[in-house]
Structure 1
């Protein structure tokens, strides 16, 4: 073999390796050939508190800033409708007379205020003084190290911008470099949609302001004539609180925010005007951005008890003493200790290495792209790490990233599915720490929820929460005191649902100290409310009355369409799950024996599931028709998922009825709903149906504001992989990621089922780091849809049974021990 031939062969092999390696990187990298024009094309960064939405423009780079603690309002007044429960006897009397129209109207009397709104903090604009044509533009987000980068060339000069948002240092960093000495010239402006002011002091660009006091859509932008003296001065503001009128006090209240920006230059000159800060004739410049708010807790006044600018100043000064390399290394190490826990491979792919938006379009046409499927899975985990690291403040409807003054649905906590779906992936994809934001929020809800239980529902023990909440842990049923439709406003079961997250955290981690000291008291409180809320029906069974099935309506024979009824299947499913898990928790802790007996008795006496004339699982107490048979909600299937008391083995008739319900509803639905249905099909062990819907979840959707001749609208995925409800809601991303894990591994406290819903398309592959209930972690590879090697490790020691098909093996492990199992 001659040397030339060898060189050519080596070069071909090198190219093959290069392209397969680069293609493999698409499991972790989103990349594009052009800047983002719309929000749904942008790339997002976050440290669980501060969020940045990067557009990556050439002459103008726009960056939206968010702080997850910046909301309208102040601590909620839970006694807002203290006599609401007095209306319950009349509602129940209407039920006795089967007068559902009257019950519907009376149910509106059990309503309170709507939630407050998540607010945008500000916008940075980096204005580059470029001249010349742009070439070789490239923009990326690397999920594996949580950094974004853009590069482009102008007149032979290469410009680079790198971005990250650090959790260890609570800072955003933007590094700008040019390949030619002195070629960097830019100015930065800062602005906010909220009432704010901009200042330049000692080469620091400062943006400060205040969030509004009032919920959407009643917010208006304050003008100077409405602002009391001392609006931006804390000491004067505190003094004015004592002497100004009530109207003026309302204006002065609200959460303050601050954004501080400083530039570190290695050469060139720092320049500024009254409102801009920039660099002239530099080769490298590093921008440090700190943000903060005066929020100090759900029950504390941010206008009196907290400060913003001093916190941002401290974080900016601390970070500014550190080099770019040191900050970046600490950021990557922190991110990767969570992100690197799980790796997924789905076998060989022949998909070309294309920009992410082009890959989505190709995939939407039915083409194979296994690495895109992995990228979507990884993106969900990335988003949770980036948006859920603040105690008491979980990821909201948009996670962390909100550019809107009036965001969709106030970007609040919608607790009849959306908030919970955000956290379905927390435990099984090995991000248990991210669950803490929700678990601590539940503790806050239990405080206001005690008042809600008594004043709205007449239950004097336990706590309740309803359809919506906000950073102030609002728990009352919403509806603006009788103005909104009961089909979504009147629903009191969020506490029962959320309590199951406490059990999930325990059963995945086996942290008994947490269960004893924090978790169980919350679970017990949710169960106590359920026990007090249940009443007997005419058959002597326990039901809820009034009841609704979230956002769905029935249609009676006489044409009446309503939502208010009694004994809704969804209510009772959630109560079943709440009781079951609270009983298990009490027995593990060996406490509350009498309370357990009462729960067990009530659990046995609940109105049973009913199978309707179509073979479906009934949603209503009676076999009524749905007003919309294909409705996006499927709350009455809660027992199948996220609950676990309906399974193909334990309750085959109910599982079959659940399947029939899903078939009637069909597959065409919105992002979060499709995410839920994929999980439901996975629990029915139908991997191919789950995979079909997973592909539909990744259907390309045009940005909301984009106008094209042949627009692609509806539910699916935007170019930046955000979930399209539409508009953007992050729950679909999280639900889709959770579903992939559910297709690969399912578990309860006694067994782990491997590849229970593996589709034909994923006939070979491997996964490492997926967690199972009982405190176990799974590593496995499979071929021809059969596991070849399985490694089980235990965090705390314990026993479980591994199941694949009709094969099972009992495994007993000590704490920290691993064992290889071959099937």
Structure 2
């Protein structure tokens, strides 16, 4: 009997041990080969400096970016002072139902296109030892934001370790070999931008400048050509610290010979000094900043730099922990793991890894005030990046920040919130000159680091379906309320947030007109990037009273009313908003049972279009819910069913959140799996290519091409499936899919200033701990059970549900 017990003990011990060694990591991306394509590389960042690491054995390539390096200079917001004079003619054409004429006239309400996020340069490390690498391993550990490469060549083991530090504003690369004197390499720097590279005092120095403008079709005024010093300047410094060996240099490269260990320090700075300062004549001293950061960091030992980096990073990353129960997935490299998952196999830890990676990317790309994460975060290798890698404000910029508050990264929201303040400055001019509204501020489809707010389209050359859309201020203002309602920071709301919300609302009050039935509508209106088919067969975008406009206005007015009540100010203005809200053209349910996108029940040119802006009130807004507005929720469901699940990466991210808000966990999970569908790198040639919206081998979102918003939207959706909240209640496990029947999470935030930790089993909540940041009341709901909770500041309550 005793021997059988011993045998059972060892079997169980071995089973638990083998589970541990084979269980997939929730925190590590790893591969058996170097990256060949950008979409296989591993990215690092400190919220300002971005590094894209390929990890080659014979030669390593690292793309460098700085969040503040863009083409252009402060925008002339008054670029078209009389554009607004065209508005009456557009409104007249629409009133006469002459949509073709309205579409043509709408082009007169266009300005310049946005500037582009620029690639700073490429760092190359070329090894003298050329041979075949064996036992190759490349990884990114997102629990400490450190990437590593190791391999063997000619009997020598080489390792590299990379990180980009926020406290020290420096990139560090540590190289080692396990045989004395076998480390031999040289370092080169190059840039696609106008630049100069030279070595001074054993420091590799690259200086250069971004172009004034690189968008095709934009005419540079002749007087610009006479001025030499224009554009944002940049400096990159590279220095080697060695334990042995000898540093030599040529005119444009550094070399290290016969070393055993070396540390490469990379310092980057630009002259960008704010959206309204000329970066050439009023810019920061990029050379001095780069030198100062280099000297400070170079004086510190590697272990000290690494420790301060990980401590700083983990104070954000470690706030949240997600567990989805047991997994039987084998231990595979991340690219193979994705392929296996695409075949329908179970891999709960891959799902957690994707969620964690979204948080990692936001911490790594969004820590510079006034400079939010762009379409590619801070990682762009292209001189002409897709969509200028700009701020696309009819969904993409906002989607980047859906996970900021609920996944406990409120500080990472601040770059966007401060950017909105910048937009309000140029936006006051845009409101007057493009739209004829003298109060408040407006913003349109695209922006850039210069806080450009005008409608784009190259002054009448481009399609109104995307170029003409003035409602970004309404959408962005809701982020201000979100920040307040999660943090309960009344001082922020009073001093910064509310004035911006009020300004957005003032513009909208001045922009709307009444239809023939006395309803308030927008005119002209478009529904972002979609087109209708009018009864006469005309295919267009310009119309009036678009559902998306009115949904965003409902949210903007509703949240501004709440903010004025919290602060107990502006009662007269609040009454104006309440009156306007009651007069808005109501939602319409179409003949197919769908939520109408257009004022009339018209057909879409593309019924499966990637945008679902008419559903804004369901998510990210909250005025449509299955409980409060069941008819509109059902119409939203029907709209999603008509659109189907096959769409671009960012659109999948949005649809998962929409399904979660409809409390349909299984449909949300189905789409989440499809968001994680493996997509081949853009440049890879294969016999049977895998394309479309999904996920690249390095877990980057495939629009395609790469856009980071799908990563952020997908991660936000995981939190949305687990916790939903408003000012009065917190719903626990509202959209839990069947496959996540057992699990736990800690650190998810809820509106009202609460933080949640909970455990569930068999899809039933077992235990929940609610903590309050500043004290307050809420109502917990899970299944049929409700419980009122009142907490003091810093207090926690544990409930066995």
Report whether the alignment pairs 1:505 with 2:504.
Answer: no
Q: How does 1:205-604 map to 2 (within 5 A)?
A: 205-217=204-216, 246-306=223-283, 307-604=285-582
Q: Please identify, of 579-588 and 24-33, the stretch whose mean Cα deviation from structure 2 is larger.
A: 24-33
Aligned twin of 2:196: 197
1-structure distance, mates of 2:688, 2:25 = 28
How many matched pairs?
A: 800
Secondary structure at 1:119 match in 2? coil
Residue by residue, what CA displacement relative to the aligned partner does 1:364-400 show, whole Å, maximum 9, x if unpaired?
A: 0000000000000000000000000000000000001
Q: Does the 8 Å contact 1:114/1:215 carry over to 2?
A: no
Q: Given the two structures, how large is their TM-score scaled by the length of structure 2?
A: 0.98
C-alpha displacement of 1:95: 1.3
Matching of residues 601-612 of structure 1 within 5 Å: 601-612=579-590
Q: Structure 2: how far apart are the matches of 1:590 and 1:424?
A: 28
Shift of 1:4: 15
Does the Cα contact within 8 Å between 1:74 and 1:302 map onto a contact in 2? yes
The alpha carbon displacement at 1:271 in A equals: 1.4
CA–CA separation in structure 1 for the residues paired with 2:237 and 2:444: 38
Match of 2:651, SS? helix
TM-score normalized by structure 1?
A: 0.95
- Go from structure 1 to structure 2 and tell me whether the alpha carbon gap of 1:280 and 1:462 turns closer, same or farther (over 3 Å shift): same
Q: In 2 relative to 1, CA 768–103 (structure 1 residues): closer, same or farther, beyond 3 Å?
A: same
Matched, 1:27 2:15: no
CA distance in 1, matches of 2:791, 2:646: 44
Query: In the alignment, is residue 77 of structure 1 matched against residue 76 of structure 2?
Result: yes
Equivalents in 2 of 1:254, 1:218: separation in Å?
A: 19
Superposition map of 1:55-66 within 5 A? 55-66=54-65
Structure 1 contact 217–406 (Cα < 8 Å) conserved: no
Aligned-residue offset at 1:556: 1.5
1:557 offset after TM fit, Å? 2.4
Find the aligned partners of 2:529 and 2:228 in 1 and give their Cα distance: 35
Q: Distance in 2 between matches of 1:23 and 1:771?
A: 32
Query: Do residues 177 (structure 1) and 173 (structure 2) align?
Result: no
Hey, what does 2:648 align to over in structure 1? 670
Residues 1:655 and 1:688: Cα distance change in structure 2 (over 3 Å): same
The CA deviation string for residues 142-175 of structure 1, in whole angstroms up to 9 with x for no partner, is 0000000000011221100000000000000000
Asked if the contact 2:24/2:332 (under 8 Å) is kept, the reply is: no
Structure 1 residue 14 displacement after superposition: 6.5
For residues 659-715 of structure 1, give each alpha carbon's deviation from its aligned partner in whole angstroms, at most 9, with x where no partner exists: 000000001000000000000000000000000000000000000000011111111
Q: Cα RMSD (Å) of the superposition? A: 1.7
User: Contact 1:414 / 1:469 at 8 angstroms: preserved in 2?
Assistant: yes
Contact 1:213 1:251 in 2 (8 A): no
- Distance 1:671-1:656 versus aligned 2 partners, 3 A rule: same
What secondary structure does 2:57 align onto? coil
Q: What's the CA shift for 1:96?
A: 1.6
Distance (whole Å) between structure 1 residues aligned to residue 363 and residue 790 of structure 2: 32
SS of alignment partner, residue 349 of structure 1: coil
Distance in 2, Cα, partners of 1:218 & 1:79: 20
Gaps of 5+ in 2: none
Q: Distance in 2 between matches of 1:441 and 1:132?
A: 49
Counterpart position of 1:755 = 733
Number of the residue aligned with 1:92: 91
Residue 310 of structure 1 deviates from its aligned partner by: 1.2
Q: In structure 2, the residue corresponding to 1:781 is in which secondary structure? A: strand
Q: Using the alignment, how far apart are the partners of 2:778 and 2:23 within structure 1?
A: 35
| TM-fit CA distance, 1:806 | 1.6
| 1:248 to partner: Cα distance | 3.5
Q: Is the 8 A contact 2:58 2:131 kept in 1?
A: no
SS at match of 1:252: coil
Is it true that 1:734 corresponds to 2:733 in the alignment?
A: no
Return 5+ residue gaps in structure 1 as ranges.
221-225, 227-243
Judged with a 3 Å threshold, the aligned counterparts in structure 2 of structure 1 residues 548 and 102 are, in CA distance, closer, same or farther, namely same
Point out the more displaced range, 19-28 or 654-663: 19-28
- Looking at structure 1, the residues matched to 195 and 90 of structure 2 have their Cα atoms a distance apart, in angstroms, of 48
